[in-house]
Structure 1
Amino acid sequence: MVHRALTISELIQLIVSEVPTDDGESWSRSDFPTLVALALTCRAFHEPALDMIWSRQDGLGNLVECLPGDLWKISDDSGKTLTLREPTRSTTQRDWERFEFYARRVRILHYGPKRIRRKSRVLSEQIFCWLFSSRPSHHLFPKLSFLGWSENMPFEHHESVHMLFGPQLSTLHMGVWSSDFAASQAVPQVLVHLPFRSPDIHELTIHMYANGGPDDQRLPSKVFASLIRLKSLTLLSTLPLEPDVFTALSALPHLTEAKITIHSGDEDACGLLGTDHAAAPSFIFRALESLTLTFSLMSDINTILSACSLPQLRRLSLTSLYGSDSSMFDRTLQLIRDHCSHAMLEVIELRTTIDLFPSMDFEEVPEPDTITAASLGHLFAFRSIRELELLTEMYIALDDDDLKEMAMSWPRLKSLQLESVAEEEPGMSVTLEGLAHLARYCPAMNWLAIDVDTTGTFVSPDARPGGSYCNQVLQAVDFQRSHASDCPAEIGAFLYAIFPKLQWINSHSDDTPGEDSWKPVEDMLDALRKMSQWPRNIVLTPLTT
């Protein structure tokens, strides 16, 4: 007799959900045999366990093998490919009963390179097309919520992929990032079906390649305009976006995250939307909270920013693949100041370094410009900044007074990274005295990366460094290419006074220039920290002779 507890469906579901399953990343922890055992234990566990077993599929092979054996066969000696058995015959509803029994349990489907442990056989183009043409008006996976469609699929597969779209599909990842031009050009055609078959899509990822010819198909703006429930968009393409696409995206009431990468592969590519918009913003993104823009040229990023109003933006990440110059970068910071809410923006990431893509071939790398405090001053209006990252091929010229103004402008700052990869760094003007301002005005800072000049560091016996202000949170810093001077005791004492919890310097990399010079400083910090933990009521007994 079954225990009454097993009649509670919620309890059964909790038990089954405790069994580790394939998640696409940590498949080694999957306990598939336990799920099979649960499915065979009793009726109470049968359905929930089967739901878990079939919920995630890598390809369609396992389901095709649920069809009658006279409809398919294994076509090669390796036993990895399924194809249609000839001659074909018409199917009946009974032929599909076992297929549907399991297909209705599938909620996550990856189609492409194998991701999980229980791999299925690959479908030939012939049987793939037959699978959908046999029942054109039927949703094969009525409860499918996630579809990951990867690259390197035959063109015929792309023609039918929209048949996988169902009423419960909420996440679609569609990537074709290769020289297979025909397959990539099928992407816009596939997306046309999305609003009609899956109107509740929440997350959309699109990767598509184009050869720059007249036959390139652009992303249809009407598709985005129809996805009124879309919350997150990730787009990677070699084609510029039409203004109509931005018009459609700005009108989406629930779009909170957008990641757009347009890589033309040509440093001299024309601007994205034409010339810089001097008039009022054309696109108002009223719900957008996170925006990531990655383009070949900083001028294209500026064009986008100048055309947009971002009143709710909290996180902004900008990357120029071909670097920048100081005037263009200054313009970028001005646009951020003028088009983002000073009260809302919390995270700013700016990357303008060609070193991110070392494989790119530049005939001549220009002499880097210099970013000054006047440019960074455009960001002082954002009082809620919590994270600021600047990675650039340009020089960064700051002194202690500039750092003080930064610290006073951003009292909530938690992470500050100012990194230049210029081959020859000019003499840095920021000293440990400048870091004391960060310790005083940014008490929540827990990460710092900056070049610092420690020459002439001195700790007075009459006054505590930093005026007795200290940061009790920071435990690690990255002084990048800076070298510790010949006074590790003075440097360690100064750093301990302003950052008493500091333990690690340049610990993230073993090949950081100057790292060896910081080891004595770390040792000094460790000794001072141990000494501070001694009992304060300890009585020192003098030695007697």
Structure 2
Amino acid sequence: MSTHLSSATATGTALSNPDLLFALFDHLAPFSHADILQPGEISSQHFPKESCLRRQTLINAALTCRDFAEPASSVLWRVLYPGLHPLFYPFPGFHKTTGFLETRELDDYEQQFLASIPNHVLEREPSPAEWERWKICVRRVRCISLRNTRAAFFDEPFIPLLLHASAGVPILPSVQFIAFNEPRGDVVQTQLLHALIGPALSTISVYNVRPYAYSAHILDDLEVISRTSNNVERMLIRSENKPLSQNWPITRFPRLRKLSFDCLSWFPCRSMTSQLGALQELEELDVTYEAISSNPQTMAALDDPSPTTNGFPALRKLHLGASAFQAGQIIPSISSTSLQEVRVTTYQPSFRADVTAFIKTFPWTQNASSLRRLDLTHATNWGTLTTSPGDPFYAALFTMFAPLTELHALEYLEISCWSRVLSVSDADVARMGRAWPHLRRIVIAYTVDPLEPAEPPIWDPYGPQVARPSLSALANLAERCPALFYCEIPAASVSEPELAALEARAADSEAHDRPRQANLLSLLPARGAHCLHFTLCDVDRVARALLALFPSLYGVGRTGLRRPSLELRWPSRDSWNGQQRQTDGFRLLERLFELSGQVETFDD
């Protein structure tokens, strides 16, 4: 190939072939242009070695392709994604020097990388013709990331040339995605940020500079961006788990469809939280609030006197991490009738708050026909709980989550409750099958070993009040829900009479040649500490009976290799510790693996 390319370079013909160039650069790119523009967070800059080599190849191609006419420049500028340096590669006088950056200021984080930062220089000012050609090139740029651009870069002498070249016109008029660290009031960085973007901008990712929290300057920057770009649809704000305490001007972006905050302070941001409901086109909201510590009386006194009503009319996906009180302030304002995915993690750091009130305020009925995925997690700090015999640590599943039975379109359900043991009977499992006929994945998880064990009789996870379904009930659920491929519900131990009933059921199904449920891949009746309390009268016979009913069941092999994950958190052998691997619950999964004849050829 090198011979053809060399001859092509000499003749100047083949290198202008767009098909050849697109194939070449698509092969070398660390990731595709289409992937970059997918909703959500941009791909990490920590590429594997092979991708780094490919990117270096692209950079070298850029340096050798300065004389390319269109369409070569078009392809090159679509592929080169990260950083500002590629903007200068077409200029003949731009190159790296043998020295290293000398800057008036380096923070501690940058200092450790000083030896690896080469200096870049632009030996002469570009000619008018070179500027015109450069403007043609930058019109192709769709995505740019300034995240890994060191602060020292903005001291380099060609930055003023770049700012001068803009002359009030966006430097990157077609850029759709930009990721940047907060300028923190640096005039040059702020000017460059404002000069780069244009009206085509649709996705913004903002990151704070470690180890600092956001400053007030970022609010001014977003105000300017909102006036320049009124088509922003996706915004990601990352703070490295440092609470955001400013009221961000989010409502300046009325066309937002997706918004993500990773750590908001509740009290300083209450007014902004109330305003979010006014975003008429917001479809996806992902927000986590900083944990607050107080008591029920204080929380009740802090209710918003003017809560938002009829908010979030277009919401389809909600990911919320908050205390039970905070969730109770936000969720009642949702007026959407098209929710498809809800993931709520509630926590109570200083006292045990029941999730029942939160469940009752959620608009389940108006979203019953649309909701497909529901993940509910409730956690409590065991060390600070106050308990009494009249307030036991167990609850019937449908006493706490009764409204969920109206969600007949539900396909994915996960309930994790780390403040109570959930009592699930055979009747409850039968109710699941009637309520959720389209179920594909179900997980009911709870702890049986609190961090701070309570004194009996308050804490007794295996007392007579706590029901666990039989393995036969779980088999009934799988048959009633033909699409079910994953079922994880803590079950009761299997006795000889129940095993005999399972074997008779399997034999009857085979004798009458009834169609079997072939979608069920994983059935976990015991996991974690529950394995130590779960027993089988005969592991081999139980495994054979289950495989006769569900021929696609997949257990856990003897190596650490994972089965390809159809869903996140698919369990591997490492999901059980050494003691748990000696139990009947884990041996059942090993035996299923052996009997199914699966071969461990999957990568991690």
TM interval, shorter chain, is: 0.7 to 0.9
Which of 327, 331, 340 does residue 357 from structure 2 map onto?
A: 331
Which of the numbers 153, 172, 189 marks the counterpart of 1:123?
A: 153
Provide closer, same or farther for how the CA distance between residues 377 and 63 of structure 1 changes in structure 2, counting only shifts above 3 A. Answer: same
Q: Structure 1 residue 141 and structure 2 residue 172: aligned?
A: yes
Cα–Cα, structure 1 residues 153 and 321, in superposed 2: closer, same or farther, change >3 Å? farther
Summarize the Cα distance change of 1:19–1:8 in structure 2 as closer, same or farther, 3 Å threshold: same
Residue 293 in structure 1 maps to residue 325 in structure 2: no
Distance 2:332 2:482 in 1: 34
Matches within 5 A, 1:371-410: 371-373=395-397, 374-394=399-419, 395-410=421-436
Q: How far has the Cα of 1:142 moved from its partner?
A: 1.8
Decide whether the 8 Å contact of 1:159 with 1:186 is kept in 2: no
The alignment partner of 1:292 has SS state of: strand
In 2, the alpha carbon distance for the partners of 1:488 and 1:244 equals 56
Residues 83, 124 of structure 1: 8 Å contact kept: no
Post-superposition offset of 1:498: 3.8
Instruction: Report the equivalent of 1:172.
Output: 204
Contact 2:154 2:189 in 1 (8 A): no
1:375–1:326: structure 2 CA closer, same or farther, 3 Å change rule? Answer: farther
Which of 415, 419, 427 aligns to 2:441? It is 415
Look up the SS of the partner of 1:379 in the other structure: helix
Do the aligned partners of residues 14 and 322 (structure 1) sit closer, same or farther apart at CA in structure 2, a change above 3 Å counting?
A: same
What's the CA shift for 1:290?
A: 0.7
Shifted more, 375-384 versus 389-398: the winner is 389-398
Structure 2 matches for 1:27-38, cutoff 5 A?
Answer: 28-29=50-51, 30=54, 33=57
Contact 1:385 1:410 in 2 (8 A): yes
More displaced 10-residue stretch of structure 1: 428-437 or 267-276: 267-276
Give the letter for the 1:445 counterpart: L
Q: Of the candidates 384, 395, 398, which is equivalent to residue 364 of structure 1?
A: 384
Q: Deviations over 1:1-53 (max 9, x none)?
A: 99xx989987457534642302254562437648967997999x853443343
CA distance in 2 between counterparts of 1:459 and 1:471 reads 19
1:390 partner SS: strand
C-alpha offsets along residues 306-331 of structure 1, whole Å, 9 cap, x if unaligned?
Answer: 12222110000111244697763112
Relative to structure 1, the CA distance from residue 407 to residue 106 in structure 2 (aligned partners, 3 Å threshold; closer, same or farther) is same
Aligned-partner SS, 1:192 = helix
Sequence identity of aligned pairs in percent? 18
- The CA distance in 2 between the partners of 1:277 and 1:474, in whole Å, is 49
Counterpart amino acid of residue 456 in structure 1: S
SS of the residue 1:463 aligns to: helix
**1:124-523 mapped onto 2 (5 Å cutoff):** 124-125=154-155, 130=160, 133-134=163-164, 135=166, 137-150=168-181, 155-156=186-187, 159-160=190-191, 161-176=193-208, 178-181=210-213, 183-208=214-239, 217-224=246-253, 227-228=254-255, 230-240=256-266, 241-243=269-271, 246-247=274-275, 249-253=277-281, 255-263=282-290, 265-268=291-294, 274-275=302-303, 282-295=309-322, 297-322=323-348, 328-338=354-364, 340-353=366-379, 364=384, 369-373=393-397, 374-394=399-419, 395-423=421-449, 426-427=461-462, 429-457=468-496, 458-460=498-500, 463-464=504-505, 468=509, 471-478=517-524, 479-481=526-528, 482=531, 483-504=534-555, 507-512=572-577, 514-517=580-583, 518=585, 520-522=587-589
* Aligned AA (1:471): Q
SS at match of 1:509: helix
Unaligned runs of 5+ in 1: 115-119, 356-361, 531-545
1:59 maps onto 2:100 in alignment: no
Aligned to 2:73: 50
Q: Given the superposition, is the C-alpha separation of residues 499 and 131 from structure 1 closer, same or farther in structure 2, using an over 3 Å criterion? A: farther
Name the structure 1 match of 2:39: none
Change (3 A) 1:334 1:248: closer
Alignment of 1:21-100 (within 5 A): 21-23=29-31, 24=45, 25=47, 28-29=50-51, 30=54, 33=57, 47-55=70-78, 56-64=80-88, 75-76=101-102, 78=115, 80=117, 82=119, 96-97=131-132, 99-100=134-135
Whether the aligned pair in 1 keeps the contact of 2:522 and 2:553 (CA below 8 Å) is: yes
Structure-2 residue corresponding to 1:15 = 23
Residue deviations 1:247-267 (CA, integer Å, cap 9, x gap): 4544423x221111222x432
Q: Tell me the SS of whatever aligns to 2:429.
A: helix
Provide closer, same or farther for how the CA distance between residues 157 and 385 of structure 1 changes in structure 2, counting only shifts above 3 A. farther
Q: Distance in 1 between matches of 2:443 and 2:158?
A: 50
- Aligned equivalents of 2:294, 2:209: Cα separation in 1: 22
Cα distance, 1:285–1:70 mapped onto 2, change above 3 Å:
closer
SS in 2 for 1:423: coil
Contact 2:555 2:591 in 1 (8 A): no
Cα 1:147/1:366, change in 2 over 3 Å? farther
Residue 151 of structure 1 deviates from its aligned partner by 6.1
- Aligned pair in 2 of structure 1 residues 184, 268: CA closer, same or farther (>3 Å)? farther
d(CA) in 2 for partners of 1:411 and 1:326?
33
Change (3 A) 1:105 1:510: same
- SS of 1:284's equivalent in the other structure is coil
Give, in whole Å, the separation in 2 of the partners of 1:292 and 1:342: 18
Letter in 1 for 2:331: L
Say if 1:529 and 1:251 are closer, same or farther in 2 by CA, change over 3 A: closer
Q: Residue type of the partner of 1:485?
A: L
* In 1: Cα distance, 2:379 partner to 2:223 partner: 37
Deviation at 1:303, TM superposition (A): 1.1
User: For the Cα contact (< 8 Å) 1:82–1:127, is it kept in 2?
Assistant: no
Distance 1:131 1:71 in 2: 16
CA contact (8 A) 1:81 1:122 kept: no
**Structure 1 residues 137, 80: CA separation in 2 closer, same or farther (over 3 Å shift)?**
same
Identify the residue that residue 40 of structure 2 maps to in structure 1: none
Offset, 1:83? 8.2
Residue type at the aligned position of 1:123 = F
Farther off after superposition, 165-174 or 33-42: 33-42
User: 1:262 and 1:10, CA in 2 relative to 1: closer, same or farther beyond 3 A?
Assistant: same
Structure 1 counterpart of 2:138, from 95, 103, 107 = 103
TM-superposed CA distance for 1:94, in Å, is 6.0
* Residue aligned with 1:316, SS: strand
The 1:487–1:271 alpha-carbon spacing in structure 2 relative to 1, beyond 3 Å, is: same
Letter in 1 for 2:153: L
Q: Deviations over 1:432-480 (max 9, x none)?
A: 1221221222111111222112242433378316985853211223331
Other structure's SS at 2:190 match:
helix
1:537 corresponds to which residue? Answer: none
Q: 1:49 to 1:369 in 2, by over 3 A?
A: farther
Tell me which amino acid in the other structure corresponds to 1:439: A
SS of match in other structure, 1:474: coil
Amino acid across the alignment from 2:143: I
Tell me whether 448-457 or 89-98 shows the greater mean CA deviation. 89-98
Q: In 1, distance between residues paired with 2:89 and 2:25?
A: 26
Provide the C-alpha distance between the structure 1 equivalents of 2:163 and 2:251, rounded to a whole number of angstroms.
27
The one-letter code matched in structure 1 to 2:203 is T
What displacement does 1:376 show? Answer: 2.1
For 1:111 and 1:38, locate their aligned partners in 2 and report how far apart those are by CA, in whole Å.
Answer: 19
